[in-house]
């Protein structure tokens, strides 16, 4: 144990029956060693509780007062230059404790810090460390003893633990045993202060690193954009505009009409409208109106009673009932008959209907989302679609962009479809640079659906893990997409759907053949195999350059496809492009 650096001759020990210790013995402790052991145990529990350091040290002093008869107790933590950094006193505020600590003799505190040893004074009145010093609150006739021990962090003194006692007629103390007990407590306090300092430094270091990282990220990385509704892939301006509009529309209960070419993902956007609305917890029911005849369509939408028709063996709820409190998605709304349009109009106007074969009127609360790839305005003008139903479903129209209008989404979509293929089949196929070039140059008149089919077909037939350009059907003249869809799409005519021809449609004749040179002097075809159809469709003769441009536009600027439309070879088409100085568009 540490040596006592200063003990006056008045420190003669009295019988070990101090009133405080006697109280501890009555509580079940038989010796001062037991009392000290119990004190160390109780104080270690206080030091182990995560708390502010000031609160912890104050609790330590409060517990010490129950083991030692203390008049004053001070724990002072010192800075590098020896000035008090934190002063905690028994029952005092921090300000009062610091004032009392400042009144202690500087020589006494200095000796504790310098020698790193305890200082014990039996009677401060006749000790040289306390010359010319008196504490008014002690009184002139009182005998006061002083104990001070250093608080260390390893070998460096970081503070002091001091206490004083006032002797009266009954008071008896064992200063040598008390100082050993206080040295143990000071060591525990030193370890606790060291841990608090380490935690504070680590916290400051982490906060500094976080601030620096946030600053770097704010300067170099743009904030991430909203990923958008689930299932919708793409970050082009066109698709973001649609998603933003969907988010606004979803807040209301207005009927939504989704319009766009086939394969643009109208069902996904209908689902997004439901998921972003207040009805998201309700059901999302969908029905393709073009997939069922009128007799079955009425039963599917409105339900039927038992025995309403042959095969109606039990009552069945319709889609309107199933969608109560949620959203009903009617795809291909433009394909329903005129008679069924009148029945649907009543439900939309009144919100009520009867099951097939029933007489009871049912009311439903349904948010309706419709979709079509037809030009409803044209159908209304021809009388094929009721104008009143058109105005009822066309509350908010949202036009979905074709894939050719958001070409930067082709590769993210292709990557997503290939990932799904790999997950389904346990493969790890990837797209090479040449495969990406093929996809980015294709027109994809079938939009996202055609892109998905193209990726799946190519991934299925490719033999290697890396898909390259030669794996695509269009490189072997096996892709008939442009032939099937020619004329169906065009600038400003996104919703015009026409019958798909079963044979390639040639372009109208032109007066002069293309001169390809001495090796191959074959011109464009001089006559159309279906002259009457072509003349009715075109209405005027076109120049050779115009016919080449039209064929290339229809083929998505793929020369092999344009050659099939013109009944030429790819070499002839390439020569014609060079002859007329036509720049091939790259998408």
- In this structure, what CATH number is given to the domain that contains residue 52? 3.30.450.40
Helix (H, G, I), strand (E, B) or coil at 460: helix
- The reported pLDDT for the residue numbered 132 is 64
* pLDDT tens across the length of the chain (587 residues): 333 333 333 343 333 333 444 444 434 445 667 777 888 888 888 888 888 888 888 888 888 887 777 777 888 888 888 788 888 887 566 667 777 777 777 888 888 888 889 988 888 778 888 776 665 555 555 678 888 999 988 888 989 998 887 776 555 567 778 888 889 888 998 888 888 888 888 888 888 888 888 887 776 655 455 556 777 888 889 999 999 999 999 998 899 999 998 888 899 999 999 999 999 999 999 999 888 887 788 888 888 888 777 777 888 888 999 999 999 999 999 888 888 888 888 888 888 888 888 888 888 899 999 999 989 999 999 988 999 999 999 999 999 999 988 889 999 999 999 999 999 999 999 999 889 988 988 878 889 999 999 999 999 998 888 899 888 888 887 777 755 555 444 433 433 333 333 333 344 444 444 444 433 433 443 333 333 334 334 434 577 888 888 888 888 788 878 888 888 888 788 878 888 888 887 65
DSSP 154-188: TTEEEEEEEEEEEE-SS----HHHHHHHHHHHHHH
Long-range contacts of residues 240-248, Cβ cutoff 8 Å, at least 24 apart:
242/269, 242/398, 242/399, 242/400, 242/401, 243/272, 245/398, 246/272, 246/273, 246/276, 246/398, 247/276
- Give dist(CA 350, CA 320) in Å, integer: 13
Give the end of a domain, one of 401, 417, 435: 401
Residue 424 and residue 397 share a domain: no
Q: What is the CATH number of the domain that holds 382?
A: 3.40.50.300
Does the residue 353 lie in any domain? Answer: yes
| Structure letter (DSSP) for residue 330 | E
Residue 537: how many other CB atoms lie within 10 Å: 14
Q: Residue 218 falls within a domain, yes or no? A: no
250 & 396 share domain? yes
Among the listed residues 381, 396, 162, the one whose alpha carbon sits nearest the alpha carbon of residue 257: 396
Q: Residues 260, 130: one domain?
A: no
Q: Which residues of 259-296 are buried (b: 16+ CB within 10 A; e: fewer)?
A: bbbbbbbbbbbbbbbbbbbebeebebbbbbbeebeeee
Domain end point (choices 144, 168, 198):
198
Q: Does residue 432 fall inside a structural domain?
A: yes
Is 491 part of any domain? no
| Together in a domain, 293 and 393 | yes
Q: Is residue 213 part of a domain?
A: no
Query: Does 106 reside within a domain?
Result: yes
Give residue 581's domain range.
503-587
Considering the domain architecture, whether residues 471 and 514 belong to the same structural domain is answered as no
For residue 192, which of 200, 181, 180, 203 has the smallest C-alpha distance?
200
pLDDT at position 248 is: 92
Q: Check which CATH number belongs to the domain holding 527 and give it.
A: 1.10.10.60
Do 168 and 114 fall within a single domain? Answer: yes
Report pLDDT for 135.
55
- Strand 143-153 and strand 119-121: the pairing is antiparallel
> The domain that contains 430 carries what CATH number?
1.10.8.60
132 shares its domain with 31: yes
488 occurs within a structural domain: no
Same domain, 73 and 51: yes
Which of 401, 427, 451 is at the close of a domain?
401
In a domain, 492, yes or no: no
Question: What is the number of domains present in the chain?
Answer: 4
Same domain for 341 and 471, yes or no, is no
Specify whether 187 is located in the same domain as 43.
yes
Residue 169 has a pLDDT of 54
Q: Are residues 33 and 165 in the same domain?
A: yes
* One domain for residues 392 and 410: no
Token pair 């020569």 is at which residue? 575
């Amino acid at each position: 144990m540490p040596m006592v650096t200063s003990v006056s001759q008045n420190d003669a020990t009295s019988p070990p029956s101090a009133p405080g210790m006697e109280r501890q013995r009555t509580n079940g402790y038989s010796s001062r060693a037991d009392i000290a052991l119990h004190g160390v145990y109780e104080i270690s529990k206080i030091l182990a509780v995560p708390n502010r350091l000031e609160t912890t040290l104050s609790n330590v002093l409060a517990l010490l007062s129950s083991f030692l008869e203390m008049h004053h107790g001070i724990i002072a933590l010192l800075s590098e230059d020896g000035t008090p950094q934190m002063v905690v006193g028994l029952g005092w505020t921090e300000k009062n404790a610091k004032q009392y600590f400042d009144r202690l003799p500087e020589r006494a505190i200095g000796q504790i810090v310098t020698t790193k040893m305890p200082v014990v004074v039996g009677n401060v009145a006749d000790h040289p460390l306390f010359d010319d010093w008196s504490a008014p609150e002690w009184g002139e006739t009182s005998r006061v003893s002083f104990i001070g021990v250093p608080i260390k962090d390893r070998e460096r003194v970081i503070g002091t633990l001091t206490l004083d006692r006032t002797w009266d007629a009954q008071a008896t103390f064992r200063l040598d045993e008390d100082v050993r007990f206080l040295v143990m407590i000071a060591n525990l306090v030193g370890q606790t202060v060291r841990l608090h300092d380490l935690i504070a430094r680590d916290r400051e270091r982490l906060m500094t690193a976080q601030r620096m990282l946030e600053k770097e990220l704010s300067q170099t990385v743009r904030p991430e954009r909203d990923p958008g509704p689930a299932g919708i892939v793409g970050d082009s301006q066109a698709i973001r505009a649609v998603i933003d509009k969907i988010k606004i529309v979803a807040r209301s209960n207005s009927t939504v009409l989704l319009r766009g070419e086939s394969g643009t993902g109208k069902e996904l956007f209908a689902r997004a409208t439901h998921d972003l609305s207040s009805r998201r917890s309700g059901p999302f029911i969908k029905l393709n109106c073009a997939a069922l005849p009128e007799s079955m369509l009425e039963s599917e939408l409105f339900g039927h009673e038992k025995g309403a028709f042959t095969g109606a063996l039990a009552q069945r709820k319709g889609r309107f009932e199933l969608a109560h409190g949620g959203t009903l998605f009617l795809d291909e709304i433009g394909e329903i008959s005129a008679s069924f349009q009148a029945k649907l109009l009543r439900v939309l106007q009144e919100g009520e209907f009867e099951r097939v074969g029933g007489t009871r009127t049912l009311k439903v609360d349904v948010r309706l989302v419709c979709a079509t790839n037809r030009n409803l305005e044209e159908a209304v003008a021809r009388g094929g679609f009721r104008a009143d139903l058109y105005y009822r479903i066309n509350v908010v129209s949202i036009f979905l962009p074709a894939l050719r209008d958001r070409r930067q989404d082709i590769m993210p979509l292709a990557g997503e479809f290939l990932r799904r293929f790999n997950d389904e089949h346990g493969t790890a196929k990837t797209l090479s640079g040449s495969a990406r070039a093929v996809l980015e140059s294709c027109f994809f008149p079938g939009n996202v659906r055609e892109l998905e089919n193209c990726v799946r077909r190519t991934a299925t037939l490719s033999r290697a893990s890396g898909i390259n350009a030669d794996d695509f059907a269009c490189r072997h003249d096996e892709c008939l997409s442009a032939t099937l869809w020619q004329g169906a799409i065009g600038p400003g005519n996104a919703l015009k759907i026409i019958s798909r021809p079963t044979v390639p449609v040639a372009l109208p004749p032109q007066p002069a053949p293309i001169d390809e040179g001495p090796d191959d002097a074959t011109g464009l075809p001089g006559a159309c195999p279906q002259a009457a159809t072509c003349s009715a469709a075109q209405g005027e003769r076109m120049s050779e350059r115009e016919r080449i441009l039209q064929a290339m536009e229809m083929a998505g600027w793929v020369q092999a496809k344009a050659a099939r439309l013109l009944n030429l070879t790819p070499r002839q088409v390439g020569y014609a492009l060079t002859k007329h100085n036509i720049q091939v568009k790259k998408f």
